[in-house]
Amino acid sequence: MSLALIEFKEAALGYQKGRPVLTGVDFVVDSGAFWGILGANGSGKTTVLKTLLGLIDPLQGKVLARGREDARARFGYVPQKERLDPIYPLSAFDVAAMGTYRSFEPLARFRRKNKRAFIENCLDDCGAAALAGQPYSALSGGQKQRVLIARALAAAPEILVLDEPLSGIDASTQKALLELLNRIKHEHDLTVLMVSHRIREEKSLFSHIAWVEDGRVLVGKAAEMLAQGRLAEVFWSEL
């Protein structure tokens, strides 16, 4: 039986009081669903994502986790890979290990044998075990994305949130990443929310779609939403 993990209740989302980017946001993310948060660039997809992760508070209304305002879902977050500065001298393993930094453990470095095996497993799950020792900054786009997905898995999440994970990646790597996402979703029993401004390969994975446009968020089951004229119009070349 599915459980309401996240619930947006009549929420207004944005960055400044009195100037909401999105209003009347009202939808429920059930456990086990695969949501596509779609819309054109600048439509407000990232605003939905930031509110969901707790980076910004809703201007009005509520965002509930498991039906409670004071609860927090366990997120695994995959940001846009370009957002992470390559100047840091971190290996792929170091980056993946950040997923385990959920709590303050000042002496973690002295007793991390078990944790190391866990992180290596996460990298292995994402087909990135061989990259563990490589400098993160030297990896290709697809490899970085695998490492970031491994990092999200290392956070032992119930919800995996991905921000444009396929942008700037070649078609064959995109396909491989989507297969990976589909596999880990089922193996780890995850709920997935994926922000995208396109809908080519990934449309077959979505169970639900949140369509962000003109300050509103339209939601529905993927099959129904994709059949609607408006999405077909916007994504005419992709549907």
Partner 1 sequence: MTLLAILKPDFLLHHAVYGSLAVGFVCPLVGVYFVLRRLVFWGVALPQVSTAGIAFAFLLQGLGVRLLAGQEGHEKHLAIIGAVLFTAATIFILAWYERHGQGSNEGRIGALYAIAGAASILFVAWNATGESEMLGLLKGEIVSISEADFHAMLNIFAAVTAALLLFQREFTLVSFDRDMAVALGRNAGLWDLLLYSIIGLTISLGVMTVGPLVIFGLLVLPAMAALPWARGMMALSLTASALGGLSSLAGFYVSYRYDLPLGPMIVCAAFAAFASSSALRALKHLWVRPKSY
Two structure tokens written together for 76: 């695994």
For the CB of residue 195, give the shortest distance to partner 1 in the complex, in Å.
Answer: 13
Instruction: Name which of 184 and 225 has its Cβ closer to partner 1.
Output: 184
Q: What is the DSSP-derived secondary structure letter of residue 68?
A: B
The footprint of partner 1 on residues 170-209 (CB under 8 A) is none
For the CB of residue 49, give the shortest distance to partner 1 in the complex, in Å.
Answer: 9
Contact 21, 44 (CB under 8 A): yes
Q: Using CB under 8 A, which of 24, 32, 61, 135 touches partner 1?
A: 135
Q: Using CB under 8 A, which of 9, 23, 32, 94 touches partner 1?
A: 94
Contact 36, 210 (CB under 8 A): yes
Calpha distance 231→79 (Å, rounded): 25
Instruction: Name which of 138 and 171 has its Cβ closer to partner 1.
Output: 138
Size of the site for partner 1 (CB under 8 A): 35
- To which H or E segment does residue 79 belong? none
Alpha helices in 54-140 (DSSP H): 92-97, 113-125
**Interface mask toward partner 1 for 34-73; x: CB under 8 A:** ----------------x--xxx----------------x-
Calpha distance 162→71 (Å, rounded): 21
For the CB of residue 31, give the shortest distance to partner 1 in the complex, in Å.
Answer: 18
Alpha helices in 87-207 (DSSP H): 92-97, 113-125, 141-154, 171-187
* Residue numbers at the binding site for partner 1 (CB under 8 A): 50, 53-55, 72, 75-77, 79, 83-85, 87-91, 94-95, 98-99, 101-102, 104-106, 108-109, 133-135, 138, 151, 155, 161
